Amino acid sequence: MRALLINCSPVRNGATAEIVRIVAQQLSDRYETKSICIDDYSFAFCKGCRSCHTTAQCVLNDDIPVIMRELERADILVAVSPSYWADVPGQFKAFIDRCTPWCNTHEPHATIPGGKKGYVIALRTGPSLRECNRIIETIEHFYGHLEIECADHLGLPSIEFRHMVASKMNEIVSFCRRI
C-alpha cells in the first residue's frame, strides 16, 4: 500500500517539513511512502469559469494533473498544514480550488480511485487548538468532496520553528500508529 504525504506549506525545510519527515519515517515500515511539497509544483489560480462543471476537466494546463496522479496512486493521504492566518496556506488553498474537476459537487466530475483514507496534521504557533481545528475542517471538507474517507486528525499547537517539533514527538508517533 502507498502513502502520500503532502507538505501543505510553501516552506520546504521548516516545522511542517519536519513533521512530514517524521511521519514518512514512521510509516515506511508499513507503507511505500512518498512526500511532496505543494510549493514544488507550478499551477495557476482557479479562474472560476466553471468549464469543469460540464467537462470534468480544467481549461488550465499546468502541474495539477501531476499532483492528482500522485493522489490517484496513494491508498493513504496525510496532509500536514501550518496555520496561515487561521487556515491553510494560500498555495494549498489554490490547489484545493483547482481540484474542482474531481469534486463531487457537480456532474460530470472526474474521479480518483475509491477506498482512500485521509489523515490531517495541523500545526500552529499559538497555544490554542482552535486554529488547528479550522485547518483540519478545511482539509477534511476537501477530502469529503474527493470521496476520501476522513480517518483521523491531529492538532499540534505551540510549534513555530523546526526544533520545536521534538516536543511533540510522542503525539506524532502515537498518531502514526493509528494510520
Residue-number span of the structural domain to which 42 is assigned: 2-177
Q: What is the pLDDT of residue 89?
A: 98
Radius of gyration from C-alpha coordinates of the chain: 16
Grid cell in block for residue 154: 491531529
Report the domain count for the chain: 1
Task: Answer for the pair 37, 43: CB distance below 8 angstroms, yes or no.
Answer: no
- 3 state DSSP class of 6: strand
CATH of the domain at 22: 3.40.50.360
Task: Answer for the pair 17, 45: CB distance below 8 angstroms, yes or no.
Answer: no
Q: What is the pLDDT of residue 90?
A: 97
Q: What is the pLDDT of residue 115?
A: 97
Give strand ranges (E) for 61-144.
76-82, 117-123
pTM: 0.97
Mean pLDDT by 10 residues, the chain (179 residues): 98 96 98 97 96 95 97 98 96 98 94 97 96 97 98 97 97 98
Q: What is the pLDDT of residue 172?
A: 98
Count of beta carbons in the 10 Å neighbourhood of residue 112: 17
Task: Answer for the pair 95, 102: CB distance below 8 angstroms, yes or no.
Answer: no
Helices (H), 99-179: 130-145, 169-177
